[in-house]
Amino acid sequence: MRILMVTNTFAPHVGGVARSVMAFTDEYRRRRHEVLVVAPEFCGATAEEEGVLRVRALQNFNGSDFSVVLKPTRRLRRVVETFAPDLIHSHHPFLLGSTALRLARSLRVPLAFTHHTMYERYTHYVPGDSPALKRFVERLSTNYANLCAHVFAPSASTSTTLRERQVDVPIEVLPTGVRLGDYDCGNGAGLRSALGLPDEAFVVGYVGRLAEEKNLPFLARAFVRFLQQQPQARALIVGDGALRNGLQQAFGEAGLQERVRFTGMLQGALLVSAYKAMDVFAFASQTETQGMVLVEAMAAGVPVVALDASGAREVVVDGTNGRLLVAADENAFCDGIQSVRANIHTLRAGALRTAQDWAIERCADRALARYEHLLAQPAHAPLAMDEAWYRTARLLRADWDLLGAAMGAASKALQGRLRLPAADAG
């Protein structure tokens, strides 16, 4: 099968979507499927990447670590037409997501879409953030989903939300799995030694972007309380982002700067070593569609303390592989870390058992089965070479549908803000 993956974030960017695309791409290729990834330029990407087509983009948009795609070139279309995908899988509704829809319509191949993100929770990266913009983004992503043949939701919570938002195409829950064999490597003791973390210290850790939507000020306050109560404990924070300086300042003001280690972004064996250097993984984000880092931590045998929210509640079973806390209270979170410490051996075993259910091989089986089902639908039969006029008409229709999706989202958003009556459908 020839699969075109279209994404606005990809390695070397470190984030959930990029890692998801990479995980599925690697597994598909391991099974000898052909995969072409279309992604933006990104700082640190190698000049020649086999199976990856980079699109010109603005780097570090609005102070973030994201790239914003500029207008796709004719070369992109030529390369895609030469590749001749059987199916296109889009991972965003905006920017290159629009390109994915146009390509699918013009090539008459099925378009699958993974709704990785609740985009309205990320509008703080856009100038002019407002409640109206959040409503607009929510409706636009919903309308985009309804233009696709199939939608993958990373969690049951996300699937429920999409149905509530009136996504009416088929939805299937498909999390991103982990390759469990990758967690056989790594050296937690070695990383502790390199960072000056004592062997006997109880280490509470976090892995992820240091960004506003991760609820890190709350997490830092919980860490401070725990470290103050446990003089032998340490904290390990892996990742980078706009909040790094603020977090370091918070620990410094509490007099704990010598007991906290910031490593920056880690990958591969070093990242696995970081997980294995932790005794408990702490996660306070309430904006996730899938808790990939939670599964990764468990694959390394690390129990998790998290707030009860989408993405976490599908992974963390309270008292079995960690603690899932209903109240967003720093004292309760600190107590949760303490309770993991008291039951560490039982919870470690539970974490390893949970990770078995999230193997990438199982997730790829389900995705490929869905691809095959979509390809079997007669509506996606190949076009004859003499149907150029119909090909052009479909391309125009795709543009029209995208415009309609944007206008529909804008109308819904403005109705809520200005209390305007809905437009007459006739």
Q: What is the DSSP string of 284-307?
A: --S--S--HHHHHHHHTT--EEEE
Amino acid found at 244: R
Q: Evaluate whether 278 touches 210 at the Cβ level (below 8 Å).
A: no
Residue 412: the pLDDT is 59
Residue 410: the pLDDT is 56
Residue 416: the pLDDT is 52
Report CA Rg, the chain.
Answer: 23
Question: In terms of Cα–Cα distance, which of 310, 368, 397 is closest to 112?
Answer: 368
- The yes-or-no answer to whether 2-177+360-418 and 180-356 have a common fold is yes
Domain ranges of the chain: 2-177+360-418, 180-356
Residue 425: the pLDDT is 34
Token pair in block for residue 213: 């939507």
Where the chain has pLDDT below 50, the residues are 60-67, 123-125, 128, 381-393, 395-396, 417-426
Token pair in block for residue 142: 């919903």
What homologous superfamily does CATH list for 2-177+360-418? Glycogen Phosphorylase B; (3.40.50.2000)
Question: In terms of Cα–Cα distance, which of 155, 19, 208, 132 is closest to 417?
Answer: 132
Residue 299: the pLDDT is 97
In CATH, the number for domain 180-356 is 3.40.50.2000
Distance CA 365, CA 307 (A): 30
Distance CA 304, CA 206 (A): 10
Distance CA 368, CA 400 (A): 30
**Helix (H) or strand (E) segment spanning residue 171:** strand 171-173
Residue 398: the pLDDT is 55
Residue 67: the pLDDT is 45
* H-type alpha helices, 233-375: 244-253, 268-277, 292-299, 330-342, 344-356, 360-375
Token pair in block for residue 279: 């005794």
